[in-house]
Amino acid sequence: MQTNRRDFLKGMSAGVLCLSLTSLGFDLTEAKAYAKELKTKNCRAVTSVCPFCAVCCQIIAYERDGKLIATEGDPDFPVNEGSLCAKGASLWSMYTNKHRPTKPMYRAPYSDKWVEKDWDWTLNRIATLVKEARDKDLILKNEKGQTVNRLESVFWMGTSHASNEECAIINQAMKSLGVVSIDHQARV
């Protein structure tokens, strides 16, 4: 049997159409629903808030046996109505990623190695360096003789993991030290 170009294209179109209908058909929808049911089956659903920015989208976290199984946007929450941006959508993988550091990591000046430290050591180190910088660099008066109490050698970069209230306290703490360069990661 001879097949001309027109018949060949018609056959191809029909094949693609069948494939598309199968791919988008009801059977596949059922399979997806079944797979979703399996993933969160016997899970405890807990509502929480995405920690990454001040929009505060609500999420549903599914927990089973103390493990986070899945997270998704909460469709009943008026702010995000179930949707999440790329950061919020990656919440589960951020939490469960085996590369996520869970302890402070320190790299000494001129070293090429990171070493694990405990929180006491880390907080003492930060406090010592901030005090040294403030003692050395605090500007009490400007060139006109006006009191400014300004510390320009310290920069504070906030985190979207901080709540509004935490951000307010951090802001006040930094300003009480004289820090004037303050920014927030969620704005970047």
Binding-residue total with ligand SF4 (CB under 6 A)? 11
182 binds ligand SF4 (CB under 6 A): no
Q: Classify burial at 64, counting beta carbons within 10 Å of its beta carbon; exposed 0-12, middle 13-18, buried 19 or more.
A: middle
Which of 55, 170 has the CB closer to ligand SF4?
55
Q: Nearest distance from residue 73's CB to ligand SF4, in Å?
A: 7
Q: Nearest distance from residue 77's CB to ligand SF4, in Å?
A: 10
Q: Nearest distance from residue 163's CB to ligand SF4, in Å?
A: 12
Q: Could you tell me what percentage of the chain is helix, strand and coil, using 3-state DSSP and rounding each to the nearest 5? A: 45, 25, 35
At 96, give phi and psi (nearest 5°).
-100, -5
Could you give the 3-state DSSP secondary structure of residue 167? helix
Site residues (CB under 6 A) for ligand SF4, limited to 44-63: 50, 52-53, 55-57
Site residues (CB under 6 A) for ligand SF4, limited to 69-108: 80, 84-85, 87-88
User: How far is Cα 149 from Cα 138, in angstroms, rounded to an integer?
Assistant: 6
User: How far is Cα 12 from Cα 3, in angstroms, rounded to an integer?
Assistant: 12
Binding residues vs ligand SF4 (CB under 6 A): 50, 52-53, 55-57, 80, 84-85, 87-88
